[in-house]
Amino acid sequence: MAELVFFSGTMDCGKSTLALQTDHNHAARGLAGLLFTSRDRAGEAVLSSRLGLSTPALEVTPELDFWDVVVGQATHGRRVDYLICDEGQFYTAEQVEQLARLVDEMGIDVYAFGITADFRTCLFPGSQRFIELADRVQPLQVEALCWCGRKATHNARVLDGEMVVEGEQVVVGDTGAARAGVVEYEVLCRRHYMRRMTSHAARAQATAPEVLPFDLDLCPLPGRVAPS
């Protein structure tokens, strides 16, 4: 039976890579699908991975109606067996409901991929609706890592090297070295998110002459004993 599956995680955990692999695997079996994305880092109507892979996709705007798109394809004789929906956190709640309807009434598998929470640790409306309606919510198996080496669980917004916790929910950026005046994102473990300790802040602390090595705010990795 068809399913609505939501693959979720932080930035940098391989969501888009898995989306591309899922499409490849299904196409190799002779199935026909449609790819969707929204506000991809590579530009409009492109589904891209940080590994350098990319493919054309349909851009999801707030006005797009998934039901109308798929029915239009079927009306023109094109078979649609599955949908790949990347950047699902940017979809509206109504669009997620349209996807659920396609699963239930047309028997089309929907594989959605998205970030669960924003830089304020609040659920994206699209992600929330996916969690509420999906047949399965699947955490990504590839773990993104905080600068300290522990599992990253939070997405931090960085501006001019400083972590910010206020502003619009959606500001497109990417993970990478912070640049002046440019919004970037960094994945952090909960401890360092709560302490606003980005990798930039940690480097600044480590090089401060008044800071001794045992004063650094480091998370002990599993199996290690925290310094006392």
Looking at the chain, the whole-number percentage of residues with pLDDT higher than 90 is 60
Query: What confidence score (pLDDT) does residue 192 get?
Result: 94
Locate the domains of the chain by residue range. 4-139, 154-215
Q: Is 87 a catalytic residue?
A: yes
Pick the CATH number of 4-139 from 3.40.50.300, 3.40.50.970, 3.40.50.720, 3.30.70.260: 3.40.50.300
CA distance 38 to 71: 21
Query: What confidence score (pLDDT) does residue 215 get?
Result: 47
User: Taking the CB of residue 228, how many other CB atoms lie within 10 A of it?
Assistant: 4
CA distance 110 to 94: 15
10-54: pLDDT as tens digits? 887 788 899 999 999 999 999 999 999 998 876 778 888 777 777
78-101: pLDDT as tens digits? 999 999 999 999 999 999 999 999
Query: What confidence score (pLDDT) does residue 209 get?
Result: 57
Out of 32-41, 42-51, 154-163, 192-201, least confident range: 42-51
Report yes or no: 145 and 152 within 8 Å, Cβ to Cβ: yes
Joined together, the tokens standing for residue 1 give 């039976």
What's the chain's average pLDDT?
85
- pLDDT surpassing 60 at residue 219: no
Query: What confidence score (pLDDT) does residue 217 get?
Result: 57
Higher-confidence residue of 139 and 127: namely: 127
Considering the candidates 3, 59, 87, 184, report the single residue annotated as catalytic.
Answer: 87
